[in-house]
Amino acid sequence: MQFEDKLGYLADPRQLTEALDLKNASTDALVAFYRDMVLIRRTEETIAELYTAKETKTPVHLGIGQEAVAVGVSAHLNSGDRVYSGHRGHSHYLALHAPLTAILAEVMGRATGASRGMGGSMHLFAPESGFHGSVPIVGATIPIAVGAGLACKMDGKGQVAVCYFGDGACEEGVLHESLNFARVMDLPVLFVCENNLYSSHLDIHLRQPSNSVARFAEAHRIESRVIDGNDVVAVSEAAADLIEGARNGGGPGFVEAVTFRWLGHVGPNADIDVGVRRSPEELKQWKERDPVRRLTDALKEARGVDQSRFAEIDAEIETEIADALEAARGSDFPAGNVLIDYVYAGGRS
């Protein structure tokens, strides 16, 4: 197979390591981006610690290193919008400011969890925050988001649906069916592909003839943006344009955010002993493109934000996570007699 390196510098971990170009974004918004990304990272690091200590009751798929995507997109969503995710969905949930205690309780199998302790890390649910569900079946929420987009169009309230997925989901037929339907019906849906170049353990070079997946959007005449997924400003700009277009009747949009997960497919290991190109050297290079560090450097250099401000935010987050973890640990496990209460509509007869 002849492989096309269409992403070029975007997929080269030796590139794009400098501080971000902040453009015209307000300092307050950028500091909020920093806070959200650090909260996501520290929460996932905490989940990794729980996993290692065998306190989790579920597998966990961590997206450390990919925080900028969810934060940049969520900045432009409203309370009536509907967001869907897959198995690596912690960041998408947290970027909507969904309850922190509920996600920790869920991975620990507690009744106060986001899915009442019965779904685990891959089945999160917080509709009050706009997060309408995640599932572990690859690509499964893509058509659901399209259905939500149809409902949004019929409601006529200017709401949009968002679905997050990885490059591996682009090999599922349902994505292509969904892109086609969304375009034909001009639905207000934003498709967000976090292209981290791996599907489970398999490099995209072995799965597709090109490393860019935006070609699928182009085939369906859907407006797309291919961006550095470790640049929260670039993600925010792309999402703002496409979401505004969707709200105003312009139909669907597609974001391909090129990024890299620092940890393996499942659990806290780095998976540097699997795959073809995933090596200690490659991982080290990608960490130089850390989305949090690049934003921090830019805020210090271009906006004069002092280190003490970042330290203050970090301390607040540590306290918030500690309090949430204590509350989650203090919660009960679901009672045995509720096992099938949520299987059928209306509960048990």
Residue 343: pLDDT band (50, 70, 90) is confident
- Mean pLDDT over residues 97-107, rounded? 98
Lowest mean pLDDT of 83-87, 133-137, 318-322, 337-341, name the range: 337-341
> Which CB contacts under 8 angstroms, 24+ apart, belong to 1-7?
1/209, 2/209, 3/205, 3/209, 3/210, 3/211, 4/209, 4/210, 4/211, 4/212, 5/210, 5/211, 6/210, 6/211, 6/212, 6/215, 7/195, 7/211, 7/212, 7/226, 7/258
Question: For residue 150, what pLDDT is reported?
Answer: 98
- Mean pLDDT over residues 32-41, rounded? 98
Q: In what order do the strands lie in the sheet with 253-258?
A: 131-134, 82-85, 161-166, 189-195, 253-258, 223-228
Question: For residue 274, what pLDDT is reported?
Answer: 67
Residue 65 burial (CB < 10 Å; 0-12/13-18/19+)? Answer: buried
Q: Quick one: CA dihedral 61, 231, 279, 277, positive or negative? A: positive
Question: For residue 206, what pLDDT is reported?
Answer: 86
Calpha distance 16→289 (Å, rounded)? 6
Using DSSP bridges, classify how beta strands 161-166 and 189-195 pair: parallel, antiparallel or unpaired. parallel
What is the identity of the amino acid at 264? G
Question: For residue 345, what pLDDT is reported?
Answer: 76
Residue 131: pLDDT band (50, 70, 90) is very high
State pLDDT tens for residues 221-279: 999 999 999 999 999 999 999 999 999 999 999 999 999 999 999 999 998 876 667 88
For residue 203, give the H/E element and its range.
Answer: strand 202-203
Is the pLDDT at 349 greater than 50, yes or no? no
CA distances to 96, 293, 294 from 42, rounded to whole Å, are 16, 14, 17
Mean pLDDT, rounded, of the chain: 95
Is the pLDDT at 298 greater than 80, yes or no? yes
Structure tokens at 314: 């970090």
Full-model pTM: 0.96
Question: For residue 45, what pLDDT is reported?
Answer: 98
DSSP string, 294-340: HHHHHHHHHH---HHHHHHHHHHHHHHHHHHHHHHHTSPPPPGGGTT
Question: For residue 246, what pLDDT is reported?
Answer: 98
Coil, helix or strand at residue 262: coil
State pLDDT tens for residues 187-201: 999 999 999 999 988
Question: For residue 116, what pLDDT is reported?
Answer: 94
Calpha distance 263→65 (Å, rounded)? 8
Residue 291: pLDDT band (50, 70, 90) is very high
CATH topology of domain 19-268+291-324: Rossmann fold (3.40.50)
Question: For residue 276, what pLDDT is reported?
Answer: 65
Residue 222 contacts residue 255 (beta carbons within 8 Å) = no
- How is the chain split into domains, by residue range? 19-268+291-324
- Which residues, 6+ apart, have CB-to-CB distance to 10 below 8 Å? 16, 226, 227, 228, 258
State pLDDT tens for residues 39-66: 999 999 999 999 999 999 889 999 999 9
